[in-house]
Every structure is written in C-alpha cells, then in structure tokens.
Amino acid sequence: MRTRNYSRKREAVLEMIRSCKCHPTAAWVYHGLREQFPDLSLGTVYRNLVLFKQEGTILSVATIDGQERFDGLVDPHGHFICRTCGAISDMDVPAALSRDMAAQRQLQQCRVDRVDCTVYGTCAACLQH
Amino acid sequence: MRTRNYSRKREAVLEMIRSCKCHPTAAWVYHGLREQFPDLSLGTVYRNLVLFKQEGTILSVATIDGQERFDGLVDPHGHFICRTCGAISDMDVPAALSRDMAAQRQLQQCRVDRVDCTVYGTCAACLQH
DNA sequence: ACTTTAAACGATAATAGTTATTGTTATCGT
DNA sequence: ACGATAACAATAACTATTATCGTTTAAAGT
C-alpha cells in the first residue's frame, strides 16, 4: 500500500494520525510523540504534515479555533464537528450526495478531487453541559 | 428583515459581504471599503465579522491559505473551492441529502446547526492554465 | 438643547499557528 | 568508505487574528 520508504519520525507522525480517531492538530501529534522521540521538533511535524497533504496521504478536515485538523482516513466519509468542544467524528455520506455534487461541477468543466460533507452542531455530551 | 440598527461602518461591512459573490477575506472587505471610508480600521472589520458570525448574519465558509472566507448568503447551499486559485462559488445541495446527514446525527442526540457540503477541485479557468 | 452613558472606533500591541532558514546529522547508492 | 541527498532540530520570521486602550461618536434620558 505504501510505496515510499519513510524515515522513522515521518513514519511515526503518519502512524499517530492514522491510529487515532480524534482528527488531531499538529500540536497534538507533536506532544503525543515526545515520549517516544524526546528530541522531536515541532517543525518536523509541520514539515511532514505538509508533505502528507501534498501526497494525499492525509486530509485537512477543517480549521477550528485557528488550528488545522487532520485526518488519516482518506476514504470518502463526512464529519460532525461540535462547535462547543471542537470534537470531530466521522459520518457516512450518502453516495448519491457526493455523486450529485461532483456531477454538478463536472458539467461545468471543473476537475473534482473531493466532496466534503460536514455537519456543524453540538454533540450530545456538550448538550448536557 | 434586519432587526438591529447598525452603525454606518458596520452596515457597510455587511453590505460589502452581501453584495459580492466572491466569499471574501477580511482583508478584501477592508481594502474594498477604504475608498468610501478612508479612516476605516482593519480591527473594525475583524470586530464586525466576529459579531456577524455570532449573530448568524454571515457564515464562515472555509479557511484557505490561512485566511478565513466569509459568506453573506446564509440560506442552505454548498460550495465549490478551486485549490489552484482559491475561488469559491455556490452550489446547490439536494435538500433530501442534507436532511439525511442531519438526521444521522440527530438520532445520536446531537443538535445540528448546519450541513456544509463543499467540493474541492480545480475550476475550468485554472484547468486551461 | 444639555448631559450622561454606552457603544464603536482607530491605532497599535500582543498572540499564536504556521512557515522558512540554517547548520547539522542521518541515510542511501556507489 | 565516500559523496550526495534527504531529514532533522533549533530558532527566527511571518502573518492572520485578537486584545487593549484611549478617543470619538451616537444614543438615551432629563
């Protein structure tokens, strides 16, 4: 599946993002890896996130409170974002929806890379204070 | 339709956003109003954008290249974002499908404020270099 | 009209997330 | 082993956004 050979730290950054469901920030990845790599630099995390984004290995989901949130799951799916606590969780997107949206634009000579569906609201936990 | 009475500059910021289709940044609004209000401060633009967002008078569409993009049209609709030039244009979203997305979450005791559908890709103009 | 009170603003400083730079270290191919 | 290249840490730089503060404007009440 993976075609390139990543360095240990690069690999760890990717694995960190893939192995959690929290759609983390750069800082979260950095702090989570400090134990395993005490000499890890925040710049390395950012550098690799940019790289992974360019490769299409990860996705940028949204930026919440000024912080970019990433997703290691690149298969088509949607997100629910709680505006109160900032939690992001995955959702199903009806295939008809993304098909319809993509078709709309393809008719207008655009190239479509991705259809992103996000529901904004308040999660159950935050609703009960 | 409008219930509050806005100051002249506040009104102008809102009108600027409503009267364009470009889903502008704060800086774009600021520069566009400098002719009419030579003493306008960038802080005022930001201050009012925050206010409008809180009121629900405008929406935050996305942040592209680190800059937040706004939309004066609050009726349900989707967006196409060209990753090359950053242009944002409006799209139709099948009502039944956004209802489906909302229902998915409401079943899980969440409050749903908004269903956002965005297509990422490359616009026709950018495709022909 | 005059005063009082609060809101809105301009100017500017501060914050914070992200990106760029630079010198060093590790990795890979030969 | 040696040279070339990629990856890194440390740190500085950048930039969008937010906060502060003193002043001005507008509104409300008398």
Cα separation, B128 vs B80, in Å, equals 18
| DSSP codes joined into one string, chain B | ---S---HHHHHHHHHHHT-SS---HHHHHHHHTTT-TT--HHHHHHHHHHHHHHTSSEEEEEETTEEEEES--SS-EEEEETTT--EEEE---HHHHHHHHHHHHTTT-EEEEEEEEEEEE-HHHHT-
Q: Which pLDDT does position A57 carry in this prediction?
A: 95
Q: What average pLDDT does range B55-73 have in this prediction?
A: 97
Domain boundary among B29, B55, B72: B72
In a shared domain, residues B57 and B83: no
Shortest CA gap B35–chain A (Å): 30
For A3-50, the pLDDT digits (tens) are 458 899 999 999 999 999 999 999 999 999 999 999 999 999 999 999
> B39 Cβ partners below 8 Å, 6+ apart?
none
Both tokens of A87, joined, read 């939690």
Residue A18 CB neighbour total at 10 angstroms = 13
> How far apart are the C-alpha atoms of A109 and A83, rounded to whole Å?
35
Region B82-91: mean pLDDT is 96
Q: Are residues A32 and A59 in the same domain?
A: yes
Q: Are residues A85 and A63 in the same domain?
A: no
In terms of C-beta density within 10 A (0-12 exposed, 13-18 middle, 19 or more buried), how is residue A83 classed?
middle
Please count the structural domains in chain B. 2
What is the residue range of A54's domain?
A: 1-72
For residues B48 and B104, state if they share a domain.
no
pLDDT of residue B4: 59
Residue B86 sits in a domain whose CATH number is 3.30.1490.190
Do A42 and A27 form a contact (C-beta atoms < 8 A)?
yes
Indicate if the pLDDT at residue A115 is higher than 50. yes
A86 and A42 co-located in one domain: no
Is the confidence at residue B60, as pLDDT, over 90?
yes
Residues A125 and A90: their CA atoms lie apart, in Å, by: 16
Q: Are residues B54 and B65 in the same domain?
A: yes
Domain boundary among A26, A56, A72: A72
pLDDT at A123 over 60: yes
Query: What does the alpha-carbon distance between residue A4 and residue A44 come to, in Å, rounded to a whole number?
Result: 18
Instruction: Say yes or no: A103 contacts chain B, CB-CB below 8 A.
Output: no
- Per-residue pLDDT at A4: 57
Q: Which chain C nucleotides are covered by protein, judged by CB under 7 A?
A: 8-13, 16-21, 27-28
- The average pLDDT across B72-100 equals 95
The nucleotide closest to A44 (CA, C1' atoms) = D8
pLDDT for residue A81 is more than 80: yes
From chain B, pick out residues whose CB is under 8 angstroms from the CB of A125. none
What is chain A's length? 129
Is the distance from CB of B57 to CB of B14 less than 8 angstroms?
yes
Do A49 and A61 lie in one domain? The reply is yes
What pLDDT, on the 0 to 100 scale, is given for residue B2? 45
